[in-house]
Structure 1
Amino acid sequence: MPLVSVIVPNYNHAPYLRQRLDSIFNQTFQDFEVIILDDCSTDNSKEIIEEYRNRPQVSHVVYNEKNSGSPFKQWAKGFDLAQGEYIWIAESDDWAELNFLEVLTSILNKDSSLVFAFCESYWEYPQITVSGKALKKSSIYNGIDYIKNKQIYYNSIVNASSVVFRKEVLSNTANDYQFFNGSGDYLFWSLLCEQGYIYYTTNILNHFRRPPANTTSRCMATGITFIENFSIYKYFKQKGYISKFANYRIIEHSLSEIEQYSEVLGKNHCYSKCKTIWENERVETNSTSFFLSFWANQINRCDSLPLYAKLWQFLHLPNTNIRGHLPFYKRNQQK
């Protein structure tokens, strides 16, 4: 049995497939199987996949006759085929440093309490590469605490390609994520967090490709993200993960994002629906005070800024591009 099952779910990523697959097969750690799943691609993905079929690590190549409609259904298909103790979902448009598996499997091997380990990523935009900064230091985190402090606001495990997890936890993981179109990963990683401890390393071992048009941007534009995130928010709330103040922050942030996408949401006839579900939630929670809502909104506006910029923003001084054009991430290098 291989130690790691590498699942490569692909749909129309022919331009990136060789780089992705080469970064898997050339890993310094070699005890793995590769499961390639193609979701009825219309480009020349099949031609490229066939170049790798006879590699000894390839255990399955599966071509769908009909598009599944959800990347997360492909994940589940891969999980059923996986024989390894650990699973790596290697998204077909990303790529990895060649010591990715060596580092993350070593972390998991040393501590059986860990549900998964994930690394930092380079965010690969068409004209620029930026280095991520999910957390400040490499450390073990209690999964429930991680949800309460990070996941309730957004999916902080932003790229599946950066994670290696234990297959055994799938037996205790609800399959609801499969029926999401955009936020299934958000729910999936949160469900895994509930099952134990997680490890984050600041080592940048993953390259997360961010093309102009992808599943995330499409789901934002069609309102799917706002609706599915609302379901996840209600789950977190029911589980008691969200404090009263955090609740205001989440609602205000979601409504602010909906306004940012208002034009495209309107064109897709879903602006009203997205805004209504979150506004109704705000009305239900608005009995505490206007004060909490005001400060939640202020903190959201300044959350990603350095200290000097937070002060600048709170004092309402003139904006001097304190946020820059790539919030949350620092510029790393020009391409």
Structure 2
Amino acid sequence: MPQPAVSVIVPNYNHAPFLRRRLDSIFNQTYQDFEVIILDDCSSDNSKEIIEQYRNRPQISHIVYNELNSGSPFKQWARGFDLAKGEYIWIAESDDWAELNFLEETVRRIETNKVNLVFTNSYIVTPFEKKIDVKIERDVLFDGKSLLRSKMIFQNFILNASAVLFKRKTLADIPKTYQNFKSSGDWLFWIEFCLVGDVYFCSKILNYNNRHGENTTTQWGKRMSSGQSAVEDCMIFHYLKMKGYIPFYHYHSIVVSRLKWADANASKFDSIASYKAARKCWESEIRSESFSTLIFHIVNMLYIILKMAHIKS
């Protein structure tokens, strides 16, 4: 198989109900210069049966079945990166799906704009509704560090890996720390991309992020209720703080908002110990919760006063 332009990595774990739709949305792309790497993380459903039906597709370069579950989707990402031969990489999560021109549109933008990473707008699809992910109506070229300071210090702005195409060679500049995470490794991974180059946002809705209740981005999955997500988010916050990317006010406002979130959702944690662990990691980032709360309220009040003065003028 000649070297492809794109390596499509499909990490799967127990997503048999969604696999055919995902794989068909890959193999039927209008842009056909790609290889497909399927990584099954020891699924216990009939995923293997479905995957084997695609084995003879000419774009298939690797099908790997783990004998033991890796315990982390990001370890699976890294395994796919090691196998990938393409200039670009698309992590096509096994429960999502794409418009058939996803690769055509993203490859053109990444080449035209000479960026390390392109991500598209998405529909977030739940059993009850479908809503647009990013409320930006035009394409935007972001300076990576500006995107970090304006968006990524607060939360993962690049919410779904399935919406992203990136240059494989950039992986050489990305620390492997994200592989140690089980919940928030994607946030850290995209942060590292922001630190090494520009990012392009494609406003076309080309990706469907399937929130069916069992995937890693479902709000109250096992990693949220166990407190693991809160702990990992705090680790990322601490990393950004040490690098000097979090301004004084946001330093306090982020911590206060995370503590308020933990308190508001205390009953959703699987135990009191999980709730306390989630809260404790954020408390450790400040010397005084009351001081940070005071800073938060003072700056908010100043913002309201300035906004009212602007309206009157």
| TM-score normalised by L of structure 2 | 0.91
SS of equivalent to 1:269: helix
- Look up the equivalent residue of 1:65 and give its one-letter code: E
Distance of aligned partners of 1:150 and 1:10 in 2 relative to their CA distance in 1, 3 Å threshold: same
Residue 247 of structure 2, aligned match among 232, 243, 246? 243
Which of 62, 65, 74 is residue 64 of structure 2 equivalent to? 62
Q: Which amino acid aligns with 2:102?
A: F
CA gap 1:157/1:134 in 2 versus in 1, 3 angstroms = farther
**Change in CA separation of 1:290 and 1:88 when aligned onto 2, cut-off 3 Å:** closer
Identity of aligned residues (%): 48
Q: Find out whether 1:119 has 2:123 as its counterpart.
A: no
The correspondence of residues 171-320 of structure 1 with structure 2, limited to 5 A, is 171-216=172-217, 217-265=221-269, 267=271, 269-283=273-287, 291-294=294-297
TM-superposed CA distance for 1:159, in Å, is: 0.2
**Cα displacement (A) at 1:211:** 1.4
Q: Specify the code of the residue in structure 1 equivalent to 2:16.
A: A
What residue ranges of structure 1 are gaps of 5+ in the alignment? 303-309, 312-335
Tell me, in whole angstroms, the C-alpha distance in 1 between the residues paired with 2:211 and 2:192: 25
Distance in 2 of aligned mates of 1:252 and 1:295: 13
**CA distance in structure 1 between the aligned counterparts of 2:246 and 2:89, rounded to whole angstroms:** 30
Deviation at 1:261, TM superposition (A): 2.6
Q: Report the Cα offset of residue 4 of structure 1.
A: 0.2
Give the counterpart letter for 2:141 in structure 1.
I
Q: In structure 2, how many angstroms separate the alpha carbons of the residues matched to 1:296 and 1:62? A: 53
Q: How many residues align?
A: 300
Partner of 1:37: 39
* Partner Cα separation in structure 2 for residue 127 and residue 55 of structure 1: 35
The answer as to 2:20 corresponding to 1:22 is no
Q: Secondary structure at the match of 1:270?
A: helix
**Whole-angstrom distance in 1 between the partners of 2:77 and 2:300:** 36
Shift of 1:295: 5.0
- Deviation, structure 1 residue 127: 2.0
State the secondary structure of the residue aligned to 1:241: coil
Distance 2:239 2:187 in 1: 12
Q: State the shift of 1:183 in Å.
A: 0.3
TM-score between both structures, scaled by the size of structure 1? 0.85
**8 Å contact 2:226–2:270 — kept in the other structure?**
no
Pair 1:155 & 2:159 matched: no
Q: CA 1:125–1:296 in structure 2 vs 1: closer, same or farther (change >3 Å)? A: farther
Task: Report the alpha carbon displacement of residue 271 of structure 1 after superposing the two structures with TM.
Answer: 1.1
Deviations for 1:12-67, whole angstroms, at most 9, x for unmatched residues? Answer: 00000000000000000000000000000000000000000100000000000000
Measure the CA separation in 2 of the matches of 1:271 and 1:89: 32
DSSP-derived class of the 2:196 partner: coil
- Could you say which residue in structure 2 is the equivalent of 1:88? 90
Report the AA paired with residue 163 of structure 2.
Answer: S
Secondary structure of residue in 1 paired with 2:284? helix
What code does the residue aligned with 2:202 have? T
Per mean C-alpha deviation after superposition, the further-off stretch among 78-87 and 136-145 is 136-145
Q: Counterpart of 2:171?
A: 170
How much does 1:164 deviate?
Answer: 0.1
Structure 1 Cα separation of the partners of residues 39 and 293 of structure 2: 50
- What are structure 2's unaligned runs of at least 5 residues? 309-313
